[in-house]
Copies of this chain bind each other. A is one copy, B any other.
Amino acid sequence: MRTTHADDRTTRARLRDTAIEVFARDGFSATVRTIADAAGVSPGLVIHHFGSKEKLRSECDDHVLRRTREVNEASLDVGAGPQAFGGILTTLDTIDEDGPRIVYLIRSLQAGGDMARQLLDHLAGDAEATFRHGVVTGTVRPSRDERARARYMVAQSMGALLVDVVMHPPADWSDAGSILRSYVDRVLVPATEVAVHGVMADESLLDTVLAYREEHDAPTN
């Protein structure tokens, strides 16, 4: 923000967007050289603009996170049904314009780190709000611990996507639409079944677990 030349910003932004694409395509072990090649510039220029690879990565993180927050905020009003999939169904509509961003998010979740944690916190907050609203409306079952459930559901749905990607490695990491569509195709029915009915027919299991917890550890409340 302290750069003297006004043209800087445009180049920085272009470089940053290219970096996001390459990170999404090749993973975070992608080299500065690869990014520079993809942008049609020299490796030195990339470092010249961002100081280091780490700072470049950090700027990609910030940008992706910021845009994701914007998009999520905009789509929060829309549908309350598909949130069991972490907003994937909503995402599929706009997938073509910012596919790299979505894949970048997947890779961040997989790689861990601070940015992933912030993203998850954000998603968990949204989920909790949505669930609480659903409980009031009557579409969602109440939970003994709304906060814990929301976090668990986010972990479950995001995690299922991560593991699915391991089970079925995308032939082309550049095609976010294809990745998400094939995932939804595989899980839509079982996920809905489980979300609506659960898996266990024996309801006493819940009592068993609650009793187990009561005696092994002090309850969180």
Q: Judging by beta carbons under 8 Å apart, are A205 and B110 in contact?
A: no
Interface flag for A71 (CB, 8 Å): no
Bound CA span A158–B51, Å = 38
Instruction: Select A198's contact among B163, B165, B198, beta carbons within 8 Å.
Output: B198
State whether A112 and B165 are in contact (beta carbons under 8 Å apart), knowing that A81-B208, A153-B194, A194-B149 are contacts in the complex. Answer: yes
Q: For the complex formed by this chain, how many copies does it contain in all?
A: 2
Point out the residues of chain B lying under 8 angstroms from A192, CB to CB.
205-206, 209-210
Query: Which chain A residues in 192-215 approach chain B with CB under 8 Å?
Result: 192-203, 205-206, 208-210, 213
**Interface pick from A31-39, A41-49, A94-102, A138-146:** A138-146
Q: Judging by beta carbons under 8 Å apart, are A116 and B186 in contact?
A: no
Q: Judging by beta carbons under 8 Å apart, are A148 and B189 in contact?
A: yes
Instruction: Select A190's contact among B117, B152, B169, B205, beta carbons within 8 Å.
Output: B152
Interface flag for A129 (CB, 8 Å): no
Bound CA span A165–B158, Å = 13
Point out the residues of chain B lying under 8 angstroms from A194, CB to CB.
149, 152-153, 156, 194, 198
State whether A158 and B159 are in contact (beta carbons under 8 Å apart), knowing that A112-B165, A148-B189, A205-B192 are contacts in the complex. Answer: yes
Point out the residues of chain B lying under 8 angstroms from A180, CB to CB.
none
Beta-carbon nearest neighbor of A209 in chain B:
B192
Point out the residues of chain B lying under 8 angstroms from A139, CB to CB.
200-202, 205
Residues of A within 8 A of B (CB): 81, 84, 109-110, 112-113, 116-117, 120-121, 131, 134, 138-141, 143-145, 148-149, 151-167, 169, 185-203, 205-206, 208-210, 213, 217
The 6 closest A-B pairs by CB, nearest first: A159-B159, A155-B163, A198-B198, A152-B190, A149-B190, A159-B163
Mind listing 26 A-B residue pairs with CB under 8 Å? A81-B208, A112-B166, A121-B167, A141-B199, A141-B200, A143-B190, A144-B189, A145-B189, A149-B190, A149-B194, A149-B199, A151-B190, A155-B159, A155-B187, A156-B163, A159-B164, A188-B213, A189-B209, A189-B210, A189-B213, A194-B194, A195-B198, A196-B203, A197-B198, A197-B203, A197-B206
